[in-house]
Amino acid sequence: MSDTSKTAHLTIGDSTYELPIYTPSTGPDVIDIRQLYSQAGVFTYDPGFTSTAACDSTITFIDGDKGELLHRGYPIDQLAEKSHYLEVCFLLLYGYLPKADELENFEKTITQHTMIHEQMHNFFRGFRRDAHPMATMVGVVGAMSAFYHDSTDINNPREREIASHRLIAKMPTIAAMAYKYSIGQPFVYPRNDLDYAANFLHMCFAVPAEEYQVDPILARAMDRIFTLHADHEQNASTSTVRLASSSGANPFACIAAGIACLWGPAHGGANQACLEMLKEIGTPDRIPEYIARAKDKNDPFRLMGFGHRVYKNFDPRATVMKQSADEVLDLLGVENNPVLATAKELEKAALADPYFAEKKLFPNVDFYSGIILEAMGFPTSMFTPVFALSRTVGWISQWKEQLADPQMKIGRPRQLYQGETMRDYVDIESR
Ligand code: SDX
């Protein structure tokens, strides 16, 4: 814990309470309210955790006003340009950029864990073919604890590390199998001669009937999407993983909980919702109608891919993603993609509209990721599974960090109770 030389004073009635203030390495100061209830008999109220630091962390820092995202201190735009996903995984897991031999060993370990237990193939066949791949991923990842119980002892550091490697390695295989199953094609086994992103594309798009060559530009774009989604401080799904972990649940159960939370359209499901919105808008001439709906308080419609709880400036990931979108669409000769044309016009119209400027609503990471994934040939139902695959390293890094925190306690928030006070039971005859 950083220095507590500063103190906050809270006065309630004629009592004043002293609350320690912690100064982080960067970002806003934090007031420690842990003793507030025992000292003053009051709770604080923050249902969306807009002003609540739920943990200590050294992994990722976001400055929403500057549009900054750092992983272990390294800016996301530098990592997206100079690094690659498995190196970022090492950085998030271990806290430093690996030397060449460390990286080689790590990549070899991940590569050799990419297959899943053959018995798990039967799981997929128990789902309907038209099940959403996220439903399949929640089920299969949760079931991993039934197959890999030799890495579920959360008090054993070696088992924690093996579980981390297994999850990072097997998530692309599981996501690809969910996709293949949904389109009635045979599963494609991982290949150790391909790198992480190329292997995922090969498992998704190869068929036994012919050779499938992964285009290196698409593999690079895929790897960049993985990197841009790897971790993001204490977002909803990461907080879900931390809360599940605080009860002592095994790593596979915790990650399955994170996948379930990410699925929501306000969170990781936004990339699918964004593309469906762009297709519903159809042509740029209908953009004003949708902008008006997004501003109408009586209309629940929101511009998917816009806005963010923390970023009140451009999401730095969206900036990189936009560059990638142009590269991929140029390569695939779909630079005239009507969806991209609508996306670019929508972005221009929204950024020029005072409503979005006042509310600091900018395109977020989900705005362009869907366009790239669609151009690559993924159906919209696979957009969030790709996000979940990418975010697994963030979830598991935060999970490991929390388990190593001596201050860790089971997460158990309280409430502002507005219900009935005590009253006696009424027999049915008297109601
Ligand atoms: C992700 O937390 C993370 O880090 C998440 C993530 C990660 O990497 O883990 O970055 C990934 O989830 C990105 C966000 C993807 N979601 C979307 O694109 C869905 C559309 N966005 C909104 O639902 C919304 O912006 C949220 C959920 C992202 C953030 O909502 P907040 O912070 O709770 O803000 P709010 O709902 O209180 O909105 C503030 C105001 C409201 O107007 P008023 O009530 O003040 O008049 O802004 C308006 C909202 O109506 N608003 C929007 C809007 N988002 C907010 N209006 C129109 N379109 C939008 N997209």
Query: Would you give per-residue pLDDT tens digits along the chain (431 residues)?
Result: 556 579 999 999 999 999 999 999 999 999 999 999 999 999 999 999 999 999 999 999 999 999 999 999 999 999 999 999 999 999 999 999 999 999 999 999 999 999 999 999 999 999 999 999 999 999 999 999 999 988 899 999 999 999 999 999 999 999 999 999 999 999 999 999 999 999 999 999 999 999 999 999 999 999 999 999 999 999 999 999 999 999 999 999 999 999 999 999 999 999 999 999 999 999 999 999 999 999 999 999 999 999 999 998 889 999 999 888 888 888 887 667 788 788 889 999 998 999 998 998 988 888 889 889 998 999 999 999 999 999 999 999 999 999 999 988 999 999 999 999 999 999 999 99
Residue among 364, 365, 390 whose CB has most ligand 1 atoms within 8 A, to mutate:
364
Q: Does residue 76's CB lie within 6 angstroms of at least one atom of ligand 1? A: no
Protein residue whose Cα sits closest to atom 51 of ligand 1: 307
For residues 165 and 347, give the distance between their C-alpha atoms in angstroms, rounded to a whole number.
Answer: 39
Which pLDDT score is estimated for 334? 66
Any idea which residues carry the catalytic annotation?
308, 366
Closest CA to 364 of 302, 301, 319, 300: 319
Q: What are phi and psi of 421, to 5 degrees?
A: -85, 175
Which pLDDT score is estimated for 331? 85
Which pLDDT score is estimated for 335? 62
Q: Which amino acid is at 238?
A: T
Which pLDDT score is estimated for 129? 95
Q: Does residue 390's CB lie within 6 angstroms of at least one atom of ligand 1? A: no
Instruction: Give the helix/strand (H/E) hosting 383.
Output: helix 383-403
* Distance (Å) from CA 110 to ligand 1 centroid: 35
In this prediction the pTM is 0.94
Closest CA to 225 of 303, 157, 150, 318: 318
CA 263, 228, 393, 189 torsion: positive or negative? positive
Protein residue whose Cα sits closest to atom 1 of ligand 1: 267
